[in-house]
Chain A
Amino acid sequence: MNLTNLSRRALLSSLTYLCAFSVIPSQLFAAWPKDAFNSEAVNDAISQLYGQVPQASDRVKLKTPEIAENGAVVPVTVSTAIEDVESISIYVEGNPNPLAATFELTPYAVASVATRIKMGETSNVVAAVYANGNVYTAAQEVKVTIGGCGG
């Protein structure tokens, strides 16, 4: 066996290796932002995710009820006309760990997302939009009530 054969084999095997890796969904390489999810304050979580200080903006449209039917299932919709949005995230200020979810927008995605979140108590719900290196936020208080006999 000469050197040329060896290096061809090495090249082929490393190429196969690389191909195999490219077939695995990227999600397995995307790390779950643990520090952001474990953060105990909204601005800290935002900083962990985006490395920026947020600025309030009325271009971030946050839709969520004033009084939640039930704190276990609070609908939240975030949308914005801001361009080049890369990420949207939702926070519950009063929760032990405010960050509830992040949405990573690919070029195929439109900046409009919705989900249902848990709130432990009345607090602000904050939506953050990351676009062009800036973080824009909107907040709204959602009241969570103790049920009566039926609750």
Chain B
Amino acid sequence: MCLRIFSAIFLYCLLSGVVWADPAADQTAFKNYFYKKFPEVPVGDFINGVYAIDQKRREQWLEIEEFPPYGIALDEGEILFNETVFLDGASYSDCFVDGKRSKKNYPYFDVKRNTVVTLELAINDCRVSHGEQPLKYKKGDIAKISAYLALHSRGEIIDVEVSGEAAINAYEQGKKYYYSKRGQLNFACVDCHVASSGMRIRAEILSPSLGHVSNFPVYRFKWGSIGTLHRRFSGCNSQVRAKPLPGQSEEYKNLEYFLSYMSNGLKFNGPSTRR
């Protein structure tokens, strides 16, 4: 009887993740899963998503990347970042001083605010602190500015820190989201992007989660425009017939935190095109 109670409590603790949270071990297991599943893919190539595992698609993608459709958005993002003057006379450079504007600084857990801070959130924090209206989070100007900053972060290494109880908690929330089934179609992120990665869903090939966040923001041919990671999250939600969440919602930020940490060590390669 005692043993049963003890086992139940033990199992509960295990499943609730509180006592046993070990992000580093999760990360190792996550990566090893994909290294084993796709042995022919060089580790660094996972940042190219489906193009790392399908040669024909890769050729088309490379051809388009030679003069990519997000080129104009990049130019606009450059102007927006460098030439916008806020109501109080300040500019983005005042918030994003040298070194702070690289994507390698995001996302991070802000202990004081008790929340994950992403690049897009930081862009709007900057705006609001200088008297401006925040931008919408999924497309438009925020994606253009993010694209410009992403371009200049190419080659930097993803290096997200998860330490301290509150940060670990946010990480665990993101992980929980990733592994939870949702929507009418009852899929969890893990179902497609881990278990079925490399397999087909109709005519598409499911990309592995490893390296998923490195190339954002992306110009999706489907969108015909550049969009942020949270735009993609909400699209994925819609496609499993779950309710999409607002950009920079706690759930999406925690998910981004979790996914980014899983891809630590890989290089940023945004912006990019995807189908």
Contacts and interface: CB of A to CB of B under 8 A. Distances in A.
Interface of A: 65-70, 72-73, 75, 116, 145-151
Contacts of A67: 56, 203
16 contacts: A65-B60, A67-B203, A68-B60, A72-B222, A145-B202, A145-B203, A147-B202, A148-B201, A148-B203, A148-B204, A149-B185, A149-B204, A149-B236, A150-B192, A150-B201, A150-B236
Given A67-B203, A75-B63, A149 B275 contact: no
Given A66-B56, A149-B236, A150-B206, 13 more contacts: A65-B60, A72-B224, A75-B63, A75-B64, A145-B203, A145-B204, A147-B203, A149-B192, A149-B201, A149-B204, A150-B192, A150-B204, A151-B202
Chain B interface, >50% SS class:
mixed
B195 to A, nearest CB: 14
A73 B219 CA distance: 12
B100 interface: no
Among A67, A72, A73, residue most surrounded by chain B Cβ atoms (within 10 Å): A73
B187 to A, nearest CB: 7
A149 B187 contact: yes
Given A149-B192, A151-B202, A151-B204, A69 B60 contact: yes
Contacts of B64: 73, 75, 116
Of B61, B203, B224, most buried by chain A (CB within 10 Å of CB) is B203
The list of the 8 closest CB pairs from A to B, nearest first, reads A148-B201, A145-B203, A70-B221, A148-B202, A148-B204, A70-B275, A73-B221, A149-B239
Nearest to B58: A69
Interface residues of B, number: 24
Contacts of A66: 56
Interface of B: 56-57, 59-61, 63-64, 69, 185, 187, 192, 200-204, 206, 221-222, 224, 236, 239-240, 275
Nearest to B183: A149
Contacts of A146: 202-203
A21 to B, nearest CB: 34
A70 B273 CA distance: 11
Nearest to A150: B204
A147 B201 CA distance: 8
Nearest to B64: A75
Contacts of A145: 202-204
B275 A148 contact: no
A73 B239 contact: no
A127 to B, nearest CB: 17
A145 to B, nearest CB: 3
